[in-house]
Amino acid sequence: MSAIDALFCKLRSQGRKALMPFVTAGDPDLGFTAQLLRRLVECGAALCELGVPYSDPIADGPVIQASYTRALGRKIKLADILAMLGRLTPGLGAPLVTMVSYAIIYRQGLEQYVRRAKAAGVAGAIVPDLPLEESGPLAELCRREDFSLVQLVTPTTPRDRALAIAERASGFIYYVSVAGITGERKELPPELIDNVAWLRRQTPLPVCIGFGISRPEHVRMLAPAADGLIVGSAIVRRVAALASRPGAAVLDQIGDYLGELLAAMG
């Protein structure tokens, strides 16, 4: 059983849902990233997602793309990220997964990436640009190593393909709320809840919703329908907007924002 499996077993036994914030590694620097991850967990995040900066992200909107560009401009490397996580994760108190391009994993070598990530305390990977048809070797390796390979299902994924993705996935399924890229949205599709409910009936894996979630009203609408909610662009935007302020002030404001979302989960 992976750390993510254990987390969702615990949450389900308690009748709770997971709030899962996304943070870009190295924006504005890795020291701040570590501080922010600690604060998010202290404020109640059940699991954290850490974006590994990449020059050509497949699904990220302008806010997260800009954060990747800033981090890459500061010469952030995978080795630096994993070294930071190796110091951070033993006392973090919540699982952490990387959002990482398959190009980065492939360049490292599948076994080497999983081995290095596990040694740094990482519980799994979300690989948005890995097609189902090419995911077999990595999925098999991850199952063998109790390292979760989170797969994405979108509103345009045919249902037979969604079932095949669920069979290949581990940890949880990342349900993309809208067709398109990441980013904050005022409204979410009305059919979203029905689509997620269908998928949850088909698989024992937790189903967590991401893309566009940024407001307490989104959380109130979606929390009953899913096992977890992912909030990314709204946090990354706040980091960028507050970058000129003292670190403690930024952490306090983002912590307050996460608290508002957690309160909406009930």
Q: Establish whether 5 is a catalytic residue.
A: no
Number of domains forming the structure of the chain: 1
Digit-coded pLDDT (tens) for 170-208: 999 999 987 544 444 455 667 888 999 999 999 999 999
Residue 140 belongs to what domain range? 3-265
Maximum C-alpha span of the chain = 50
* CA distances (Å), origin 60, targets 9, 130, 234: 30, 15, 13
Digit-coded pLDDT (tens) for 220-238: 989 999 999 999 889 999 9
Digit-coded pLDDT (tens) for 79-128: 999 999 999 999 999 999 999 999 999 999 999 999 999 999 999 999 99
What's the start-to-end Cα distance of the chain, in Å?
Answer: 28
Q: Establish whether 111 is a catalytic residue.
A: no
Q: Across-strand partners of 49?
A: 22, 97
Residue tagged active-site, from 60, 111, 133, 194: 60
pLDDT number for residue 182: 47
Residue tagged active-site, from 5, 27, 49, 184: 49
pLDDT number for residue 62: 82
CATH code of the domain in which 45 resides: 3.20.20.70
* CB neighbourhood size of 168 (10 A): 18
Tell me the pTM. Answer: 0.93
pLDDT number for residue 184: 44
CA–CA gap between residue 100 and residue 104 (Å, rounded): 7
Digit-coded pLDDT (tens) for 52-77: 999 876 656 788 989 999 999 999 99
Structure tokens at 91: 């006392």
Digit-coded pLDDT (tens) for 234-244: 999 999 988 77
pLDDT number for residue 180: 46
* CB neighbourhood size of 26 (10 A): 27
* CB neighbourhood size of 246 (10 A): 9
Q: 98, 32, 81, 70: which is closest to 251 by C-alpha?
A: 32
